[in-house]
Structure 1
Amino acid sequence: MTTPKSRTIATLSRRQFMASTAAVALVAGASTLATPLRAAEPIKTAGIYTVPVEQQWVSRIHKAAMTAQERGDVDYVYSENVSNTDYARVMREYAEQGYKLIIGEAFAVEQEAREVAAEYPDIAFLLGSSFKPDDALPNFAVFDNYIQDASYLSGIIAGSMTKSGNIGMVGGFPIPEVNRLMHAFMAGAHEMNPDIKFQVSFIGSWFDPPKAKETAFAMIENGADVLYAERFGVSDAAAEKGILAIGNVIDTQADYPDTVVASAIWHFEPTLDKAIAEVNAGTFKAADYGVYSFMSEGGSSLAPLGTFEDKVPEAAMTLVNERSAAIKAGTFTVEINDEEPKSS
């Protein structure tokens, strides 16, 4: 195992990134499979993560992989706390060991990850990414946690619960994967009260609970009575100060029964199950799996309210139920806004 290291934001612009990887695409294009990708059952699958598997985002990938293994669909192993500088090496090690499906995250190692994928055209790579797939790299598919639907619904609840009209939001980094969820949450809160103000801050880390907690304390001092807990540590601050919190990606209501009102949950199962089916069918290809995180695909949901079941205003729950049905039916669309959110 390597020493834990926070994931950093890639500094390349999308145009610079695509230009710098043009050579990789050409190599991959030259090695396009004459026969489709195929794997025997169970599929040898490896997960590579830059943070502990307990971290919210990664925990959902890990959970889905464990579920697939219990079904007998995959033979799953994983490495956690892999530093960005070590990521490509670990990818190669698993590739050399005969793993047929490699899952994980490429946000800070886009170029290196795609270079490795080009070297192993018979292996399916499914990695979290802010960039799109490239047909010239046919064995490299991307995904993202598009759970803006559930985030919007949790925002409606938050907007109905704040008394001060001041909501604090603590995130890791202002990247699209975080920004879109915050914007959706803010839009939901404004459904209940268009005058709500937001304090927005990013801690510059994916896993630093003490720093997230400290940032949350500052927001509470500045009047926030509801916190959006995009990072671990925020709900701890809310619990200590006796205010409310909204969870993200995982359901922590049982851990904070008097604090966490609602949570937007990410279900990675539809994404992984689609990849498993494609590998088994020999049809895995460069594709954007982001759609499988949408609520209409079963990729996200609003967690049960638990101890807050009868404490959320009826008007808010009526709107939540109406919008949930409309989202699933395709008659209401939550806006996807990847721009960095600002305090208001």
Structure 2
Amino acid sequence: MKKLLKLIGLPAALLLSLSLFACGEAPQEKKAEEPAKTEEAQAPAPKEEPKMVKAGFIYVSPVGDAGYSYAHDLGRQAVDALPWATTKFAESVPEGADSERVLRNMAREGMDIIFATSFGYMDPVMKVAKEFPDTKFMHCSGFKKGANVSNYFGRIYQARYLTGLIAGSMTKSNKLGYVAAFPIPEVIRGINAFTIGARQVNPDVKVHVVWTKTWYDPALEKDAAKSLLDAGCDVITQHQDSPAAQEAAQEAGAYCIGYNSDMSSFAPKANLTSAIWNWGPMYVKTVEAVRDGSWQGDQSTWWSMQDGVVDIAPMGAMVPDDVKSLVNAKKAELMAGKDTVFAGPIKNQAGEVAIAEGSTPDDGALLGMDWFVEGVVGTTN
């Protein structure tokens, strides 16, 4: 028996040892797995990176012109200052084929939203928007829209009206000069609002209009202003991008009213005030909507003095206190939402009632305005 045990003892011991090793191994594996499962359950979910917004801007004139593009670029800078936004701009982009090329290149670069800031960019925007349905487009001052295209502008006519009150109060010749770019509703509406304001304080005033058919041409703008000064106008205003008309007025010893930004530094002895833009609030709010997903296409947005997008610059020291008080009172009404600039009765150039007493044109009628009010000397072409 001992001999038999001796013969089988070694394998049995080995089997016993293997059996004991196997029985002891499973708990060790289980203990090793449990902490791993616990750690995995406690691990925090990865944080989602905040969405960055890339915004492109296209300007029709140089950003250093102190005018229209300069004002838009100040708005772009407000967007660029946001920690989650980056911007790019192209300046002095002609309307037409050149703008189409620039729009397309910006879309290819992955811009989330592109702001086209001139009226003549409208058709190129509509064409390029169809090619890039995931890119959002905002067109300034136009009226065409699409699934990924909305348009925007501000009620600058409110500021024009206030500057008209000043001009009508300051003129001695009762002749006001208006250097204007193109005969489109945006410009015509501003001329009308300016004239309405001027004639409210001085019914004998006439507003003489000269068209330059350009947004930015300092030499041509100055020549146009000189022609109005030679015709006896003693207050010059403008819908142009440079301060050239302001300089012409000061050189002639006349008064002037600027546009787009505060132009008093270019004609400190002559500048009464300026109708100004403040695009920052609008641009910031728009890119915020892109970021949070609330931006919508096929919309029209028209910002007012209440929104802080349009205003007038500080009035010059030459403006009498009673005129300043009148203008500030009318501005307070506009700031409170009481917009009666185009409240009837309003007559057209032919002396016919174009807006009846007790009525006010809706935004569609204002956006399509193609006629001059009584008191304007000039044609809409």
Name the TM-score class by shorter chain.
0.7 to 0.9
Q: Which residue of the partner structure matches residue 95 of structure 1?
A: 107
Pairing of 1:1-344 with structure 2 (within 5 A) = 41-55=51-65, 56-83=67-94, 84-105=96-117, 107-133=119-145, 137-231=146-240, 232=242, 233-292=244-303, 294-305=304-315, 308-309=316-317, 311-335=318-342, 336=366, 338-341=369-372, 342-343=376-377
Asked if 1 retains the 8 angstrom alpha-carbon contact of 2:78 and 2:284, the reply is: no
SS in 1 for 2:268: coil
Greater C-alpha radius of gyration: 2
| Structure 2 CA distance for aligned equivalents of residues 170 and 183 of structure 1 | 13
CA displacement at 1:40 relative to structure 2 = 5.5
State the percentage of identical aligned residues: 31
Q: Which amino acid aligns with 1:236?
A: E
Asked if 1 retains the 8 angstrom alpha-carbon contact of 2:112 and 2:136, the reply is: yes
| Structure 2 CA distance for aligned equivalents of residues 207 and 145 of structure 1 | 20
Asked if 1 retains the 8 angstrom alpha-carbon contact of 2:166 and 2:198, the reply is: yes
What's the C-alpha RMSD, in Å, of the aligned pairs?
2.0
SS in 2 for 1:262: strand
Structure 2 unaligned segments of length 5 or more: list them: 1-48, 343-365
1:135-188 deviations in Å (ceiling 9; x for gaps): xx2211111242111111111111111111111110111111211111111111
Moved over 4 A (4+): none
CA displacement at 1:324 relative to structure 2 = 1.0
| Structure 2 CA distance for aligned equivalents of residues 332 and 85 of structure 1 | 39
Structure 1 unaligned segments of length 5 or more: list them: 1-38
Asked if 2 retains the 8 angstrom alpha-carbon contact of 1:265 and 1:303, the reply is: yes
Q: Which amino acid aligns with 1:203?
A: T
CA displacement at 1:288 relative to structure 2 = 4.1
| Greater CA drift, 196-205 or 107-116 | 107-116
| Structure 1 CA distance for aligned equivalents of residues 277 and 166 of structure 2 | 18
| Structure 2 CA distance for aligned equivalents of residues 125 and 301 of structure 1 | 26
| Structure 2 CA distance for aligned equivalents of residues 262 and 206 of structure 1 | 21
| Structure 2 CA distance for aligned equivalents of residues 104 and 329 of structure 1 | 30
| Structure 1 CA distance for aligned equivalents of residues 200 and 149 of structure 2 | 39
When normalised by structure 1's length, the TM-score is 0.81
| Structure 1 CA distance for aligned equivalents of residues 185 and 259 of structure 2 | 15
SS in 2 for 1:229: strand
Asked if 1 retains the 8 angstrom alpha-carbon contact of 2:52 and 2:291, the reply is: no
When normalised by structure 2's length, the TM-score is 0.74
User: What is the count of residue pairs matched by the alignment?
Assistant: 299
SS in 2 for 1:71: coil
SS in 2 for 1:200: strand
Change (3 A) 1:288 1:322: farther
CA displacement at 1:275 relative to structure 2 = 1.1
SS in 2 for 1:130: coil
SS in 1 for 2:266: coil
CA displacement at 1:115 relative to structure 2 = 1.9
CA displacement at 1:279 relative to structure 2 = 0.2
